[in-house]
Amino acid sequence: MKKSTIIAIIAVVAVIIIGAIIAVSTMNAKPTSNLTPVNSAEDLSALVDKLYEGQELFSSVATQPIDLTDADQVKFATGLDNGDNLQYAVVSEPMITSQAYSLVLAKVKDGVNASEVAKTMSENIDTRKWICVSAEKLYATNSGDIVCLVMSNEQMAKPVYEKFKQLAGSVGQEYQKTEQPVELPEDMY
């Protein structure tokens, strides 16, 4: 074989290998996000503040980190059985009100499918966790490794959810749930 033929074969093989590496890395890449990097629960709280800018919410909404080692707190706030797949999480809810409202932001650990976490949260969160009131609408999605779940009535939940999508730029699979009204027995009317 000529030296030029061997060089050409090596070049073609190198191009194929580089192309395969790029293709595999692109398939495994997380969706891009315009959200600022989240390196702490405080960063998630700052993102909550950005979501609330321009929104008319309750006068006493408090945002607090979720203790990911407390399975009961994780279940109550997120619907997840535990915090094993989460790196950080915060919940924002009114201090005192008769309105059902909850916003949860969570950063998943490296290698965890954030869209699956959003789906699990949306399917398992108790929309009646306040006992006397329930959230009629739930929205959940992710942008990169950040999961957003918000539930309340449509007038409160949807603007916060839309603001998350706007700030994120791109989101993964979107999950929605509409709470069905509870039917009381006839003797309760």
pLDDT of residue 16: 64
Nearest to 136 by CA among 148, 120, 147, 150: 150
pLDDT of residue 23: 47
pLDDT of residue 58: 62
Q: Give mean pLDDT in consecutive 10-residue pieces for the chain, a chain of 189 residues.
A: 68 56 46 80 96 79 96 97 98 86 97 97 94 92 97 94 95 92 63
pTM: 0.78
pLDDT of residue 107: 98
- The per-residue DSSP string of 80-132 comes to -S-STTEEEEEEEEESS-SS--EEEEEEEPTT--HHHHHHHHHHHS-TTTTSS
Cα 151 to Cα 134: distance, rounded to the nearest angstrom: 9
